Structure 1
Amino acid sequence: MALLTGGASGTISLGILSGILTGTGAAFVASLLPIAVAVLQGLVE
């Protein structure tokens, strides 16, 4: 079980790293920006 969870988190972090390197990570962050802005605006109001 520990190997499975460790492998899963390792795979996710590797996917994020490779995604950033290939540019899809940048697109992912860009898609999250409007959500982050909306959350921040909700906190400010």
Structure 2
Amino acid sequence: GSVLLGIETTRSENFLGLFERIEASGLTYEDITENEILSNFLI
């Protein structure tokens, strides 16, 4: 199934390593930063 996670960091460059590890593990993800409808669920 699907999961919606909200991840906060003080350094945006941390996301590069996170996304690389997610891709290496074979998982799929979608960055919803620019998706106003989905990102409103986190607020």
Does TM, scored on the shorter chain, surpass 0.5? no
TM-score, with length taken from structure 2 = 0.36
TM-score, with length taken from structure 1 = 0.35
